[in-house]
Amino acid sequence: MSIPGLGQIPAETVTSATRTIRLNPAWEWRFEVPPGGTLTLKVLSGTAEKDGVELAQRSAYSFAGIKSKILTWHGCELEVEGRCDDDFTAEYTNPIANPATSYLNLHARLVEMRIAAARERREGPRVLIAGPSTTGKTTLARTLTSYATRQGYQPLMVNTDPDEGMLSFPGTLSAAVFATIIDPEAVTGWGSTPTSGPSTVPVKLPLVYYYGRKSSEEDPDFYRELVSRLAGTVSGRLSDDEAVKSSGLIVDTMPISEKGGIGLDLIAHMVDELSINIIVVLGSTRLNAELTKRFAEEKTSLGEPISVLMLDKSEGVVERGEHFLQHSREAVIKEYFFGDARRSLSPQIQQVDFDSLTIYKPSDYSSYGDDTLVREEPSSLMQHWTLAVMHASLRDSPETLRVANVMGFVYVADVDEERRKMKILAPVPGRLGDRPLIMGKWPEPFINLLG
């Protein structure tokens, strides 16, 4: 186009956001998609995986608000559409140079143990992954779980890090049997939280306990109690199901300091309660030495020695800032009630009288120094909080309620103190007054789901 006196006006150049990336064997493509952004990826040729989940050729995978990587063992060609905050290709001269090879070798060793366990009708490997913050513990747990399911095993996955929920909200401890593939597109990487909507990837049904705090060290006694409860249920499932029993379990843990302290004591409690026989330490020689020394002479409840194995952390592990983590927590809560880009849900909105609700919260103090539950009158302070619906009776004592498992969650959309009514969002219809609710101390409300 030309304008008199100005001459030819050049057309604006539009840069295509679609590009092709070629990876040689054992290379990784690492990428960061910002909150609110979306990236679409296809495997055009070859084979590729994300956290152990093999990606199908020519299928479009969408990722939003994520920091992750695509690994290929045999080479591949990727088509990527969208923009990243940062991305690059990690090149290795041979597969041995990539730390992911040691994860594959660990999986092969676990398979040998599972085969022997099935033959001898005993429990398979019980693996606990420990390490400081930002060492890739959760990624390794997902990878080992994915590799196991791809070979037909049914490992029981346990999450004891309240900062990041597994198939549940943050602030919880959970466990679930993984007999089918993990959803690679899920916000948390584990899959969708159980809701009323259909899913292309089979939904896992986790056992969930409500801790309601960010760190295990905020209330270590209560944390130990929940771990013991979780361990009891896990042991029951291992005893009742032969396929799960021989597949064993994998435990993802909270970050612990290299200087030891209470974190080491909590890890020791898990090892004892869950009869752990393999401890994998990621990225810390000091922590490896501490745990090796601590468990050198100990045996599991089944009389097995406890092995401590150190692995290098992946070079692709990156720090996730608080803003990024907050967005991830928000995305999990939104998905639970409203679904995601692949499926939309229609949550139920209920107007509930104050008098019909039974709500508890952790007490701010106790004469004995222990954190207990106290009955809480509904108020505007609860607005925008998520409350846990407990699998318990209204007649149960606070001591019983605090260690009951979770049925689901509801969201307090609005509170009218004058009319003594509360507007509550629930994923499915049902009487809320029939079950006790618990309001934790974390995560604090930071979103308004209804706008």
Pairing mode, strands 359-362 and 437-438:
parallel
Distance of CA 33 to the CA centre of its chain: 18
Q: Is there a binding annotation on residue 417?
A: no
Q: Is there a binding annotation on residue 253?
A: no
As a whole number of angstroms, the distance between CA 104 and CA 312 comes to 13
Q: Is there a binding annotation on residue 441?
A: no
As a whole number of angstroms, the distance between CA 12 and CA 1 comes to 11
> For 370, phi and psi rounded to 5 degrees?
-100, 145
As a whole number of angstroms, the distance between CA 305 and CA 283 comes to 23
Burial group, residue 370, by CB count within 10 angstroms (0-12, 13-18, 19+): exposed
DSSP lists the bridge partners of residue 43 as 57, 78
Q: Is there a binding annotation on residue 193?
A: no
As a whole number of angstroms, the distance between CA 86 and CA 206 comes to 34
As a whole number of angstroms, the distance between CA 356 and CA 368 comes to 31
Q: Is there a binding annotation on residue 54?
A: no
As a whole number of angstroms, the distance between CA 209 and CA 234 comes to 13
Q: Is there a binding annotation on residue 204?
A: no
Phi-psi region at 292: left, alpha or beta (left = phi > 0; alpha = psi -120 to 50): alpha
As a whole number of angstroms, the distance between CA 155 and CA 14 comes to 48
Selection from 400, 417, 410 nearest residue 437 by Cα: 410
401 and 436 in contact (C-beta within 8 Å)? yes
Q: Is there a binding annotation on residue 28?
A: yes
What is the CB neighbour count within 10 angstroms for residue 137?
28
Q: Is there a binding annotation on residue 195?
A: no
| Nearby residues of 127 by Cβ (< 8 Å), 6 or more positions away | 110, 144, 248, 249, 250, 251, 276, 278, 279, 280
352 and 432 in contact (C-beta within 8 Å)? yes
Task: Residue count of the chain, please give it.
Answer: 451
**What are the binding residues for ATP?**
28, 67, 134-139
**What are the binding residues?**
28, 67, 134-139
